[in-house]
């Protein structure tokens, strides 16, 4: 599913060259629920950007579903993000002034799905996160937990190969966090591949497999 080998990424801060990823290697198999844990500055955001095809590595290889990502143009990467990856962000990242429904519909529009099918799939995704009643609400009219559920629905609606969650509970209180994690568990049970990035041990250990990242280097741990 995900096959990362000797991945390197450098940043230049001032005169100094920082290694955000240092020969990182890992494998994630279909239907897995993996969490990647590390303190801030450990390179987990960089890793998440590369896994999510938002950025490309400077060295090494990344195969997503057997496709080598580094060879792709920006346009092709946009298509891969649209079809294969569903993002869930810490700060929800819903588009303001658009209702929950429209936010969820957006990836399908970019994929040129016909209108009737779009409506059917949006309704399905809303049902799955139990927000059917809030379909017409704008993000500002929803609570944090509800907003994150909308974001999850937006990630789900394209039926992606991979759900990539970056600190999905970072901005939520413990009760709503638990609710969100429940949704992830359900999704995993239904056969979705989930990669969850966090700095929170309690969240991380809910996954079947935990990968630790420190100074750009990955190591497998089992808690």
The Cβ of residue 219 has, within 10 Å, a number of other Cβ atoms equal to 10
Which phi and psi (to 5°) does residue 215 adopt?
Answer: 50, 40
Would you say 136 or 208 has its CB closer to another protein? 136
Q: Looking at residue 67, what DSSP letter applies?
A: E
Closest CA to 26 of 195, 152, 157: 195
- Within 149-178, the residues that bind another protein by CB under 8 A are 154, 158
The site string for another protein over 55-74 (x = CB under 8 A, - otherwise) reads x------------------x
Would you say 17 or 97 has its CB closer to another protein? 97
User: Which of these segments, 30-38, 82-90, 179-187, 194-202, binds another protein (CB under 8 A)?
Assistant: 82-90
52: number of CA atoms within 13 Å, CB side?
A: 20
Give the list of residues 6+ apart from residue 73 with CB closer than 8 angstroms, or none: none
CB 50 within 8 A of CB 9: yes
Q: Give the shortest CB-107-to-another protein separation in angstroms.
A: 4
Residue 191 touching another protein (CB under 8 A): no
Binding residues for another protein (CB under 8 A):
49, 52, 54-55, 74-75, 78-79, 81-83, 87, 89, 91, 93-97, 106-107, 109-111, 154, 158
């Amino acid at each position: 599913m995900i096959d990362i080998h000797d991945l390197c990424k450098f940043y230049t801060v001032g005169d100094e060259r920082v290694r955000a990823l240092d020969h990182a290697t890992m494998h994630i198999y279909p239907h897995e629920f993996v969490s990647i844990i590390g303190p801030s500055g450990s390179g987990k955001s960089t890793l998440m950007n590369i896994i999510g095809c938002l950025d490309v590595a400077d060295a090494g290889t990344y195969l997503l579903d057997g496709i080598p990502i580094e060879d792709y143009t920006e346009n092709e990467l946009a298509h891969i993000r649209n079809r294969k990856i569903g993002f869930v962000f810490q700060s929800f990242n819903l588009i303001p002034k658009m209702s929950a429904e429209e936010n969820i519909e957006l990836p399908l529009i970019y994929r040129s799905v016909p209108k009737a099918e779009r409506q059917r799939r949006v309704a399905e995704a809303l049902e799955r996160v139990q927000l059917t009643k809030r379909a017409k609400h704008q993000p500002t009219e929803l609570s944090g937990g509800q907003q994150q559920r909308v974001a999850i629905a937006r990630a789900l609606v394209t039926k992606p190969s991979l759900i990539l969650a970056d600190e999905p509970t970072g901005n939520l209180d413990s009760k709503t966090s638990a609710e969100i994690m429940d949704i992830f568990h359900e999704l995993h049970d239904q056969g979705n591949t989930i990669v969850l990035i966090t700095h929170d041990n309690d969240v991380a250990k809910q996954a079947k497999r935990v990968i630790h990242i420190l100074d750009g280097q990955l190591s497998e741990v089992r808690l």
